Amino acid sequence: MSVSPQLIGQIIEYTLKIMTIKTVLFDMDGVVIDSEKLHLKAMGLTLEQNGIVYPETMLAGFVGKSDRSFFEHARDHLDDRVDVDKFLEGKDALFNSFLPDMQFVDGFLPFAQFIQSKGIATALVTSSSHWTVNQVDELLGTKKWFNLIVAEEDTVKHKPDPAPYLLALEKLKAATDTTLIIEDSINGIISGKAAGCLVCGMTTSFDKQTLLDAGADKAFDTYEELKSTFF
């Protein structure tokens, strides 16, 4: 007896609705702060300022990955004169100059307040450095919404590897079957699913179908949609 796709969809919706979420892990760029485009702009400008030409499609491939991996790729595939540490410093300086334009992703603050009021454990799990996290915190006061920060320096392997999320789960003593991960990138979704958690995609960087094709369990345009589904 075959089961219709519609029925399967209804079963999945029901299962998600009755789940008890005890932990929420957030990516930062594109999930907490509307910054993904600013990071990409700073990385591209760093290459341009050093006379390095790169394909237009290259930047999109590093959404959700660390800055270091971007410049290592540039060194290995574009120009072996790329000094990774020097370029990282240049990128950070450019990104810092863009910070006054930084804002929270729409809906994050009321959602974070709701989560905090429920006593749900939270972590920020980002491919950005602690330096970047601190710069953003000085501007927007982001750290107060999280019980734990996991940044680039905290793991040897980075997204799409599950290591950052596995570290957060370990430190929070959280179970995978009661943990929700919120991501906006393909690499982040792959990382979260490999860690064994429920992963939801936010459409700040990619459309819903792209996020679902990457493995997201659900995809949302707004935090209000996400909240009404799980809480």
pLDDT tens-digit map of 184-222: 999 999 999 999 999 999 999 889 999 999 999 999 999
The stretch 88-103 carries a mean pLDDT of 89
The stretch 222-231 carries a mean pLDDT of 94
The stretch 71-80 carries a mean pLDDT of 94
The residue with greater pLDDT, 151 or 63, is 151
End-to-end CA distance of the chain: 34
Query: Residues for the chain: how many in total?
Result: 231
pLDDT tens-digit map of 150-186: 999 999 999 999 999 999 999 999 999 999 999 999 9
pLDDT at res. 39: 87
* Residue 199, beta-bridge partner list: 181
Enter the tokens of residue 41. Answer: 């702009």
The stretch 51-57 carries a mean pLDDT of 91
Per domain, the residue ranges of the chain are 5-35+103-230, 37-100
The stretch 119-139 carries a mean pLDDT of 94
pLDDT of 62 over the 80 cut? yes
Calpha distance 219→202 (Å, rounded): 6
pLDDT at res. 18: 55
Confidence band for 84, pLDDT divided at 50, 70 and 90: very high
Confidence band for 16, pLDDT divided at 50, 70 and 90: low
The answer to whether the CB of 41 falls within 8 A of the CB of 196 is no
pTM exceeds 0.85: no
Query: Token pair 């000085």 is at which residue?
Result: 138
Q: What is the dihedral of CA 135, 144, 20, 32, to 10 degrees?
A: -30
Specify the fold of 5-35+103-230: Rossmann fold (3.40.50)
pLDDT of 138 over the 90 cut? yes
pLDDT of 48 over the 60 cut? yes
Calpha distance 68→10 (Å, rounded): 42
Task: Return the percentage of the chain with pLDDT > 70, whole number.
Answer: 92
Confidence band for 5, pLDDT divided at 50, 70 and 90: low
pLDDT at res. 79: 92
Average confidence score pLDDT of the chain: 91
Q: Residues 142-151: contacts with CB within 8 Å, 24+ apart?
A: 142/28, 142/32, 142/33, 145/32, 145/112, 145/116, 146/26, 146/122, 147/121, 147/122, 147/123, 147/172, 148/122, 148/123, 148/124, 148/172, 149/123, 149/124, 150/123, 150/124, 150/125, 150/126, 151/124, 151/126
Query: Token pair 């570290």 is at which residue?
Result: 167
Calpha distance 121→22 (Å, rounded): 6
